[in-house]
Amino acid sequence: MTPAIEVSGLGKRYGGVQALDGVDLEVAQGEFFALLGPNGAGKTTLISILAGLARPDRGEARVMGHHVVRDYRAARRALGVVPQELVFDPFFTVRETLRIQSGYFGLTHNDAWIDEILDHLDLTAKANANMRTLSGGMKRRVLVAQALVHRPPVIILDEPTAGVDVELRQGLWAFIRRLNQAGHTIVLTTHYLEEAETLCSRVAMLKSGRVVALDTTANLLAGLSGVHLKVRLEPDRLPEALRARALPVSGGLQVIALERAALVADALAALRAEGIQVLDVQLEQPDLEEAFLRLVGREERAA
Amino acid sequence: MSGFLTLLRKELLRFWKVAFQTVAAPILTAALYLLVFSHVLEAHVQVYPGVSYTAFLVPGLAMMSLLQNAFANTSSSLIQSKITGNIVFVLLTPLSHAELYWAYICAAVVRGVMVGAGVFAVTLITGPVPLPHPLWAAAFAVLGGGILGALGLIAGIWADKFDQLAAFQNFVIVPLTFLSGVFYSVHSLPPFWQAASHLNPFFYMIDGFRYGFFGVSDIAPLTGLCIVGATFGGLSFVSLRLLRSGWKLRS
Ligand SMILES: Nc1ncnc2c1ncn2[C@@H]1O[C@H](COP(=O)(O)OP(=O)(O)OP(=O)(O)O)[C@@H](O)[C@H]1O
Ligand SMILES: [Mg+2]
């Protein structure tokens, strides 16, 4: 099957900044894919090239098999992009905005789908409000709606939940999940890593324009074997034997890094042997944030 | 096709929603010019035999307003959507370069012609104005609107800030329109300036447009039409090349 997104050897330089430095990536149809990375990693640049907003210096990119430069019309028809910047046209209402966007894609009778999108994004009450009068979170939801008017098989969301309140974030994700179940390929960037962890089956991490990790979410997490044992102690000091494993204190709790969960019993025994009382115990599984910090940190040390 | 029609409709709505500023205001400005100049100069100047100065002034003013507003339409639309960032909504779509170009140009011509027709309608109050060759007038009006629409498109894409656009308007468009023979016939100029005027494409637009009204012109209307048509063709070619290259629009 044609990959939804296919990127090879992509390079892009802005003045002195190498925004993308040889990116290879393939996203299969139907995937829920996360593109992660620190500020300035090149996520938006990559999305801009896929959308035809920026031109690559080298390399190629395809959306649903359509070359984004040579076959730009077919590529753009296959793609819906929610831009990171909060942009809007102050001349129009929400409904006018969506009708115009539909028209650009050649859809003149799209009101049934527009109503459905408005409903899912909780915008029905604002359908006839001028864009100027919407709050920031509402404007962002209109951006999501605009990306969906032409039912694109591939949907890319560049930080869609920035500035959206918790309840709506849930609603938005439920809607995006349904689109994914209906067969749409979803790519998202986010700085809320738990979002990526719960939603996405595969993750690419970008750093300084290069892919530093590309794997399933499950594999990335499995690669971080070990647990964090968090304990509140009385007296609040770690015995000599555990000091080598100590991580920075977090929320008044001592944090001890253990390679395996089985070592928890040993650690607690070591505390008891020193006569230290354990007032509170928490075990933490490593999460994507941990993977992210390790990968980004490792790169930094290597550089 | 419907992508083109949608963009055209959007561009029309954009000025029509604020028609008071974009259509009514320039008509009023032109009416004031007419009032003042015709009142002051009526008794002193006669450009064409048997044509009063006021009658001479009407088509020139109508055309000048048409041209300036066609320029304003594309240039302001583009710079606004570039600065607010909502140009991405157009750039993300499968609209072809040609669809994009012609939608902007047609909207510019429509606004220009509306303002020009409005000026003409207002001047009818001062008395009947003859229009023996309406098709000639229409041809020059549409091509002139197209030329200024294309110039506005290029300027709007080029400019990063409003003041750059204002500079382009004040130092290029306004001088060229004023020196094109709106207020006089270039035959009344010294030979050097007469020759210089023939390098000004605006001169051919206004001269040809005026032919529609008086059946008299400085240049044979067909020659004028060819020059104006070629200018528009050249500008369209350049504009389409710029759009294809993504210059200043796609980084
Ligand atoms: N139009 C541009 N002109 C100049 N430099 C740019 C431009 N766009 C991006 N850059 C630079 O390219 C690099 C990558 O930027 P990009 O926006 O792709 O990062 P990002 O991963 O999306 O970051 P964030 O998480 O902050 O959105 C940055 O150093 C940025 O300053
Ligand atoms: Mg970004």
Kindly compute the dihedral angle of the four CA atoms of residues B167, B173, B175, B177, in this order, to the nearest 10 degrees.
-160
- pLDDT the model gives residue B96: 95
Contact B250 A73 (CB under 8 A): no
| pLDDT interval class at A302 (50, 70, 90) | very low
pLDDT in tens, B117-135: 999 998 888 778 888 999 9
> CA B219 from chain center: how many Å?
19
Q: Which residue has the higher pLDDT, B54 or B163?
A: B163
| pLDDT interval class at B185 (50, 70, 90) | confident
Contact A52 B250 (CB under 8 A): yes
Best of A69, A84, A89 to substitute, by most chain B Cβ atoms within 10 angstroms, is A89
Contact A87 B85 (CB under 8 A): yes
- Closest-CA residue of A relative to B245 is A55
Hey, which residues 88-147 in chain B have their CB within 8 Å of chain A? 88-96
- pLDDT the model gives residue A296: 67
| pLDDT interval class at A298 (50, 70, 90) | low
Ligand nearest to the CA of A40: 1
Residues A210 and A43: their CA atoms lie apart, in Å, by 10
Residues of chain A in contact with residue B13, where contact means CB-CB under 8 angstroms, are 91-92
Q: How far is CA A35 from CA A160, A188, A193, A213, in A?
A: 13, 6, 10, 10
ipTM of the complex: 0.90
Q: What is the mean pLDDT of residues A143-167?
A: 92
| pLDDT interval class at A245 (50, 70, 90) | confident
Query: Is the pTM here over 0.90, yes or no?
Result: no
Best of B88, B90, B100 to substitute, by most chain A Cβ atoms within 10 angstroms, is B88
Residues of chain B in contact with residue A74, where contact means CB-CB under 8 angstroms, are 94
Residues of chain A in contact with residue B1, where contact means CB-CB under 8 angstroms, are 106
* Predicted confidence (pLDDT) at residue A303 exceeds the cutoff of 70: no
Residues B229 and B64: their CA atoms lie apart, in Å, by 18
Ligand nearest to the CA of A37: 1
E strand or H helix at A49? helix A43-51
Q: What is the mean pLDDT of residues B226-239?
A: 97
| pLDDT interval class at A275 (50, 70, 90) | confident
Comparing CA positions, the residue from A155, A138, A51 lying closest to residue A94 is A138
Q: Is B251 in the pocket of ligand 1 (CB under 6 A)?
A: yes
**Pairing mode of beta strands A202-207, A32-36:** parallel
Contact A55 B251 (CB under 8 A): yes
pLDDT in tens, A91-132: 999 999 999 999 999 999 999 999 999 999 999 999 999 999
Residues of chain B in contact with residue A146, where contact means CB-CB under 8 angstroms, are 89
- pLDDT the model gives residue A193: 78
Q: Is A17 in the pocket of ligand 1 (CB under 6 A)?
A: yes
Q: What is the mean pLDDT of residues A248-264?
A: 81
Q: Is A45 in the pocket of ligand 1 (CB under 6 A)?
A: yes
pLDDT in tens, B14-50: 999 999 999 999 999 998 988 888 777 776 677 777 7
